[in-house]
Amino acid sequence: MKRLILALLIAGNAVLLTAGSSLAQTPSTATPTGKPTPPPATPATAADTSKAKPKPAALDTLGMLERAVAKDSTKFDNLYKLGVLYLDRDRVNEAIRVLSKARQLKPKNNKVLVNLGAAYDAAGQAESAQKLYREALTLAPGDSVATCRLASSLYAQANYKDAMKLLRSMIGKGTGAYCAYFTLGVAFADAGIYRDAIRMWRKVIELAPNSSEANSAKESIEVLEKFVNK
């Protein structure tokens, strides 16, 4: 039942992809054994985040920032950078703590709001995350990162209708937001519409080839192509 409802919902969004695009074509109904790999909770300022083992220089940077913040916790830049590094390394609770302090210093800074939201999402606190994304969008309507984060968070909570509405709006405006295409690809794959999922992910690779979403898209395409090409 869930797949049927989701497929019907996404089918209504596929119309958007026909205008000036060849993305919407006949989907496949094959069933893969693998699932699309979601991207990591990439900080809003670092789309090329890698999950590889941090290099010594990166570790030195982290240590320097930790010492700087321990010495003086009133410096916004140090707090923000340290919070992003914690988020990048999946040290979620520390990211929340440090980014919350940065938010106290600059409560209307969009990057802080979005990254703090991403940290809450990673901690499984979707409601708090969505509140921060919406606050960021109130301050900067149309912000692509905040919009994509909110849509992904809503989708993860099975709020497909609102998630699709946000993604539809982004793509309809022609913003070229690759994160919207990535999330649509995940939605198509969940609904069993695998060829369209592949096309969405290829669009991600085209728009942002060095992003973490593109890396995840490549892995997911490899899984699905084994079945749609049979």
Share of the chain above pLDDT 70, in %: 73
CB 165 within 8 A of CB 156: no
- Mean local confidence (pLDDT), 39-61: 49
Backbone angles phi, psi at 23, to 5 degrees: -75, -30
Residue 156: which residues within 8 A CB-CB, separation 6 or more? 121, 126
Q: Where do the DSSP E strands lie in 48-156? A: none
- Give the chain's mean pLDDT: 80
How many whole angstroms separate alpha carbon 52 and alpha carbon 62?
Answer: 15
| CB atoms closer than 10 angstroms to residue 60 | 11
Q: What pLDDT does residue 205 have?
A: 95
Average confidence (pLDDT) over 172-197:
87
Average pLDDT value for residue range 192-203: 94
Over residues 20-34, the mean pLDDT reads: 35
**pLDDT of 37 above 60:** no
| pLDDT tier at 212, thresholds 50, 70, 90 | confident
Cα angle vertex 122, ends 120, 123, to 5°?
60
Residue 91 has pLDDT above 90, yes or no: yes
CATH classification for the domain delimited by 2-37+51-228, as one of 3.40.50.2300, 1.10.3720.10, 1.25.40.10, 1.10.10.10: 1.25.40.10
Return the amino acid letter for 3.
R
- Predicted TM-score (pTM) of the model is 0.74
Least confident of 48-57, 196-205, 215-224: 48-57
